[in-house]
Amino acid sequence: MDRQTKILYNAFMKRIAIFLDNAANHAIYSRISGVFKTLYEENLDYEIYLYRSRGAWKFGHKYNVGEYNIFSLPDFSIFDAFILIFNDLSDKMRDFIGWKACFEVIDRVRETGKPAISIGTKIEGMHNVSIDNRASMTALVRHLVEIHKCRNFWFIMGPEQHRESRERAEAIAKYLSEWDSRDCSDYFYYESFNPMCGEHGFKYLYEKFGELPDAIICANDHIAIGACTEAARRGFASPRDFLITGFDDIDMASCHTPSLTTIDQRWPELGRVCMDYIKACFAGEDYPMDTIVYTQMCRRQSCGCETRTPDEAYELFNTVIRQNMELESFNRRLLKLENDLMVCGSVREIGEAFSQMLSYIKSDALYLVLDRRFYSDREQDSLFQTGDPGDNLFLTKGYPPNMQLAFMCENDTVVAYDLPADKMYSAFSRKPAPKDFMFLPVHFGEQSVGYIVISHAEHLIRSTYLVRAIQMLLSAIENFYIRSRLSGANSLLARASITDAMTGFYNRLGFQEVAYRFFEDHLEGPGLLAVMFADMDNMKQINDRFGHASGDHAILSVAQAIRRACPDESVVCRMGGDEFMILARVKREEQIEQIIGSIREELPRTEAVKYLDHVPEISIGYVICDPADNKTLDDYVKQSDGMMYEEKRRHKKCLNTE
């Protein structure tokens, strides 16, 4: 954020920055729901600026560089407090770019000396609020052992290097080793936190042991649902054939059949504790360094503890119907958006198409800020003329100081285009408090192109599938850029094919494509159309006596003189060697003589002539085109060529006379 932006923030509000890592994770999204709930319910005079990275260790390095660069955008000095929600800061992740980006944030937060609290991850010297993964998982295993008399288990976990997955696995192993001194390491399967892990884990363990366990303990609810899916394919069902548990208590856990026994992490309470800490700091009150939010076990059908009543089943059925109807409506709208974005020919059109989605994503404003080199047509052209397509055209660390607000959407309407980025912050100050803004990176691989800002992003936090609309917008921006680059590259190739490399004038192919069209467009006025033909005198002698390098400099000196002398609305072609054809529109014939005189006057002043022993001379012939003659351009070129040779003979005659 540049220096000019600082003064635009509301000076009467406290400003809180939230840094959110791996925000595609549903659990991490949910952890801050309590922050927004407290903000709005208590009507606090706070502004929240949420900087969200969607990076993760499983993605490519360049993608992660672009994602985590959003953490370098803000000016940390303007904030009054910080909330950090980082997924895993263990030393095992040290080589991951996200680990480095998160610790850069931590260092910059420490430099401010402002209040800071971490959710879920212990950070030295900072306040922390979290759950006890080990105690929660231990309670779940104890329930299966003591209440349901389970003796044989499978364990399907997330990534082995992930902190929370590791803590839950360690709690399982510790409890069972103390219970009957057994080594259960062969019964663990590690992969990821998504349903496919559950499917793969069930398949692997069943094929390994050939029989079902008493219970399957999963690292989260998604894995448990995946395991149930694979079990059903093989004709098994829980709780009839085995018990199964999850962790997290996501929405699907209660709606699933069977409903999942799981651990409610009480995510809103984590956010509420954060806000209590920040309020205490602003009031000058003390607050504990570490706060543990106690979880709650949800005993349901998958472990045989709960049977739904008809009323509960009816309510769940209605919930699923409502969710499906909402999703179906959203998908129809998303399909229309995709079709609209495909035909957008400018960033402005992209803004107009996407503005209709604001009400669907339950946001009242969206802002797109881009690197000026992307946005400006003139500067975009310069990009096409420099470097290879693979060159880094945009920054990979930080953002340029002067960026462009490509468009600003408010209440389903595009209200502004093409403004300096600081105008966006002025718009922030017009909004009623309390308010929040989420910053999302726009990047092509590791190259940062800009960022998106969404006002009132609370619903995007709660309903993660709505992020698909934002991802579609990002894809549209990238696709537009790629199309523009290709179009520019094609234009560049087309220009190169009709341009003389030495002089920059049109070549013979350019003469065919451009000069003929210019001739037809201007033959009948207004004014006069002149065809001039120029040829250097004694070019062969220059090459023979001084070498071809001098001959090239002589040609360049003539080209430079012609460029300076001819009107802007002229067509100049290098017909080959030292021959030039000029099409120029003039008001009267005297101007042609002035152009020819200017060419001769400019010759001694050109850059190229410095490399020659003498100023080259040229012969120029011209004709005025007359529509009544019914002649073609080729006829006039031939006629002017003849006039040029008459002048060349006069030059030779004068030299012989001297």
Give the model confidence (pLDDT) of 598-637 as tens digits: 999 988 888 877 777 778 889 999 999 988 888 999 999 9
- Token pair belonging to 616: 């080259």
Least confident residue range of 116-125, 331-340, 422-431: 422-431
Q: Is residue 434 pLDDT above 70, yes or no?
A: no
- Token pair belonging to 492: 């560049």
Selected from 3.30.70.1280, 3.20.20.80, 3.10.20.740, 3.30.70.270, the CATH number assigned to the domain covering 508-657 reads: 3.30.70.270
Question: Alpha-carbon distance 361 to 429, whole Å?
Answer: 22
- Token pair belonging to 73: 């955008």
* Paired strand residues for 453: 367, 439
- For 577-635, give the secondary structure using H, E and C: CCEEEEEEEECCCHHHHHHHHHHHHHHHHCCHHHHCCCCCCEEEEEEECCHHHCCCHHH
How many CB atoms lie under 10 A from the CB of residue 292? 13
DSSP assignment letter at 54:
-
Closest by CA to 194, choosing from 163, 159, 152, 167, is: 159
Q: Mapping DSSP to helix (H, G, I), strand (E, B) and coil, where does residue 10 land?
A: coil
Domain 133-264+299-311 sits in CATH at 3.40.50.2300
* pLDDT tens figures, 279-334: 999 999 989 999 999 999 999 999 988 766 666 666 767 777 777 787 788 788 88
User: Which pLDDT does position 8 carry in this prediction?
Assistant: 41
Closest by CA to 201, choosing from 176, 219, 183, 179, is: 219
Query: What average pLDDT does this structure show over 523-535?
Result: 88
- Token pair belonging to 55: 């990076």
Least confident residue range of 3-12, 47-56, 646-655: 3-12
DSSP assignment letter at 515:
I
Closest by CA to 360, choosing from 337, 383, 377, is: 337
Least confident residue range of 116-130, 515-529, 535-549: 535-549
Instruction: Identify the band that residue 641 occupies on the pLDDT scale cut at 50, 70 and 90.
Output: very high
Name the residue ranges covered by the structural domains of the chain. 3-128+332-488, 133-264+299-311, 508-657
> In the Cβ-directed half-sphere of 505, how many Cα atoms lie within 13 Å?
30
Look at strands 296-298 and 262-264 and give their pairing.
antiparallel
Q: How high is the mean pLDDT of the chain?
A: 84
Q: Mapping DSSP to helix (H, G, I), strand (E, B) and coil, where does residue 344 land?
A: coil
Examine domains 133-264+299-311 and 508-657 and report if their fold is the same.
no
Instruction: Report CA-CA distances (Å) from 572 to 498, 532, 624, 625.
Output: 12, 9, 16, 16
Handedness of CA 24, 27, 32, 37 (dihedral sign): positive
Q: Mapping DSSP to helix (H, G, I), strand (E, B) and coil, where does residue 190 land?
A: strand
User: Which pLDDT does position 180 carry in this prediction?
Assistant: 81
User: Which pLDDT does position 128 carry in this prediction?
Assistant: 92
Q: Is residue 182 pLDDT above 60, yes or no?
A: yes
User: Which pLDDT does position 60 carry in this prediction?
Assistant: 86
Q: Mapping DSSP to helix (H, G, I), strand (E, B) and coil, where does residue 549 land?
A: helix
Which has more confidence, 612 or 43?
43
Q: Is residue 478 pLDDT above 70, yes or no?
A: yes
Which has more confidence, 248 or 29?
248
Q: Is residue 402 pLDDT above 70, yes or no?
A: yes
Question: Alpha-carbon distance 618 to 616, whole Å?
Answer: 7
How many CB atoms lie under 10 A from the CB of residue 297? 18
Instruction: Report CA-CA distances (Å) from 589 to 189, 354, 554, 623, 639.
Output: 90, 57, 28, 10, 17
Report residue 156 CA to chain centroid gap: 35
Query: What average pLDDT does this structure show over 452-478?
Result: 76
User: Which pLDDT does position 431 carry in this prediction?
Assistant: 55
- Token pair belonging to 333: 């709208």
Least confident residue range of 39-43, 158-162, 364-368, 416-420: 416-420
Instruction: Identify the band that residue 476 occupies on the pLDDT scale cut at 50, 70 and 90.
Output: confident
* pLDDT tens figures, 140-160: 999 999 999 999 999 999 988
User: Which pLDDT does position 466 carry in this prediction?
Assistant: 64
**Radius of gyration, CA atoms only, the chain:** 36
Question: Alpha-carbon distance 254 to 224, whole Å?
Answer: 12
Which has more confidence, 266 or 24?
266
User: How many residues belong to the chain?
Assistant: 658
